[in-house]
Amino acid sequence: MAFDDLLKQLGGVGRFQQIQVTLLFLPLLLLFSHITLQNFTAAIPAHHCRPQANASLGKGGELEAWLPRDRQGQPASCLRFTSPQSGPRFPNGSEANGTAATEPCVDGWIYDNSTFPSTIVTEWDLVCTHRNLPQLSQFIFMTGMLLGNLIFGNLTDRVGRRKVLTWSYLQLAVSGTCTAFTPNFTAYCACRFFSSMAISGIATNSLTFSLEWLPIHTRPALSLLYGLCNSLCQLSLVGMAYAVPDWRHLQLLVSLPFFVIFIYSRSFTESALWYFSSGRQDLSLKALQRVAQINGKQEEGAKLSMELLQMHLQKNLTMNMAQPSMLQLLRSPAVRHLLLCLAPLWSSLNLSHFGLVMSLQSFGINIYLMQVLFTSADILFHFLSFLTNKSLGRRSTQMASLLLSGICILASAMVPQDQLFLHITMAVLGKGCITGSFNCIIMYTGELCPTVMRQRGMALTTTLGIMGGSLSPLVAMTTEFHPSLPLFIYGAAPATASVVTLFLPETQGQPLPNTIQDLERRWKKKLEQEQQMVPLQAS
C-alpha cells in the first residue's frame, strides 16, 4: 500500500489539509509581487536636464531655452545647452540645435512626478549614463533566485520543509524591510539579492510541502491554484502600486506581512514523508496521528502503528534507499536525452516570461493598465491550459503554446509602434501563451522524470529556467541597438524551443516511471513508434 492510500484513510482533503494548504498559499499572494516590483519602484518618469544653478527662470518659459529637442520634438533627456538660446527651438540636426553647444546634465535632472512621485531612478538619478543600472539590479535579483534555488533546495532535504520555509519567510521579511531603508543603490542591490534567495525557498517549498500532504488526484488542481495565486498577486500589485506610489512605502507594504507569516508558519506540521525518509519514523507517526485528529478520524489515527506505517511507506522507503547519484543518472542515455530536451524549454520560457513582465514601460501605455492586461490574459490561459492538457495531451499543449507565444511576440515586434492596439494585443496574447506553457511544463516535467530523480530533476530544470530568466535584463539592454530587438529575442526563443517537444514522449494516461529502466523503456517505445511511421510516410 502507498502513502496516498494512508492519506485517504485519514481524511483525504480534510480540515487539516484545507487549513495548512491555505496558510501555505496565502503568502504567495504577496510573494510574486517582489519579482515584478521593480516595474513600479524602478519606473523611469519623463525627465530633462536641470539648468545651471545661477540661471534665472521667470514666467516667460526660460527653462525651454536650456533644452535642445530630440527627433520627435520633445525636450532631450540627457543634454542641455551650455547657454540659454533665444528664438524657437528645433529638433536635433536643425539650425538651432546644430549650432549651439550642448553638455551633459551636470546639475542633475528635473523629473515628471505626476505618475511616479518617488522611484529609485529619481532618487539616485539612474538615467542617461546610468540608465542600465536598474536592469543590472534586476539581473542581481535573478542571480539571487538562482543561488537560493540551489541552497534551499538542498537544505530542504537535509533539515526539513518547515524549517527552511520558516527561515525563508523571516529572511524575506527582514531583507525586504531593509530594502525600504537603503541609503544608496549598492545597498539596495544587496538587500534585493537576499530577498530573491528567500523567494526561491518559499516558492519551491510551498508547493512541495502542499503536495506531500495531499492525495495524488488533487495535484492538477493544486498546480492550477499555484498559477492563479501568481496572477492574482500581480493583479493586486497594480492596486497597491497605484495607492502607494512612493517606492519605499510600497516596498514596506509587500514586506512587513511576512513577519506575521513567519510567526504562524512555526505551527506547520512537518511532512510525514520527510520524517520517514530521514529515519524519524516515530515523528512521522505522531504527525499522521495529529492529522487524523484534526480531520475527525480519531479511530483511524488510534489504529496507526509503526508496523502499519512501515507497510504503507515501504515502497517509498525502498525507492529512497535505491536512489542513485546524479553522476550515475547521467550515465543513462535516456536521462541525458531528457535533460537536454527540458533545458531549452525551461530556459526559453523563463527568458521570455521575465523579459515581458519586466518591460511594461516599453509598450508606450499606462504601466498600470499594461499590468492589468497581462494579468487578465494569464488568468484566462491558466484555465485554457488546464483544459487542453486533459484533452490534447501534454506534448501537443506544450508545443502549441510555445509556438503560438513565439509567433505572437514576433508579430508584436514587427508591428509599427504607431499601431499601438495591435502591438499590445499580440504581446498580451504571447504572454498568455507563455503562462499556459508554464502550467503544462511543470506537470509534464514531473511526469517525464522517474521517481528516483523526480525531485532532483525538477530542481535542476527549475535552476536552468532561472538561468534563462536571469538573462532577460541583459537582453533588455539591447534596446540600445534597436527598440524592438528584445521582443525579437523573446519571441524567437520559445518558437525555436517548440521543436524540442517533438523529441519528448506523450505522458497523458501513462503510468509514472519509477526507475531509470522504466524511463529507458518509454524512450525505446517512442523510437520504435517513430521508426514504424517512416515507411508509411515514404509510401
Q: Would the pLDDT of 322 be above 80?
A: no
User: Are the C-beta atoms of residues 395 and 504 closer than 8 Å to each other?
Assistant: yes
Q: Would the pLDDT of 383 be above 80?
A: yes
Q: Would the pLDDT of 411 be above 90?
A: yes
Q: Would the pLDDT of 92 be above 50?
A: no
Q: Would the pLDDT of 58 be above 70?
A: no
* pLDDT at residue 326, as a whole number: 67
Task: Pull the grid cell for residue 290.
Answer: 495529529
Question: Alpha-carbon distance 24 to 265, whole Å?
Answer: 8
* 3-class DSSP state of 100: coil
Residue range 294-306: average pLDDT? 81
Lowest mean pLDDT among 51-60, 181-190, 410-419: 51-60
Domain 329-539 architecture: Up-down Bundle (1.20)
pLDDT band, residue 429 (cuts 50/70/90): very high
Higher-pLDDT residue of 488 and 213 is: 488
Q: Would the pLDDT of 179 be above 90?
A: yes
pLDDT band, residue 317 (cuts 50/70/90): low
* pLDDT at residue 318, as a whole number: 55
Lowest mean pLDDT among 86-95, 161-170, 183-192: 86-95
Q: Would the pLDDT of 138 be above 60?
A: yes
Rg over alpha carbons for the chain, rounded to the nearest Å, is 27
Domain residue ranges in the chain: 1-45+129-322, 46-111, 329-539
User: Are the C-beta atoms of residues 32 and 357 closer than 8 Å to each other?
Assistant: no
pLDDT band, residue 444 (cuts 50/70/90): confident
Lowest mean pLDDT among 88-97, 445-454, 481-490: 88-97
Are 1-45+129-322 and 329-539 the same fold in CATH? yes
Question: Alpha-carbon distance 442 to 102, whole Å?
Answer: 54
Domain 1-45+129-322 belongs to what topology? Growth Hormone; Chain: A; (1.20.1250)
User: Which DSSP symbol is given to 94?
Assistant: S
Question: Alpha-carbon distance 465 to 347, whole Å?
Answer: 4
pLDDT over 90 percentage in the chain? 27
Q: Would the pLDDT of 136 be above 50?
A: yes
Task: Pull the grid cell for residue 69.
Answer: 529637442
Task: Pull the grid cell for residue 205.
Answer: 517549498
Q: Would the pLDDT of 539 be above 80?
A: no
User: Are the C-beta atoms of residues 401 and 440 closer than 8 Å to each other?
Assistant: yes
Residue range 499-521: average pLDDT? 81
pLDDT over 70 percentage in the chain? 88
Question: Alpha-carbon distance 382 to 384, whole Å?
Answer: 6
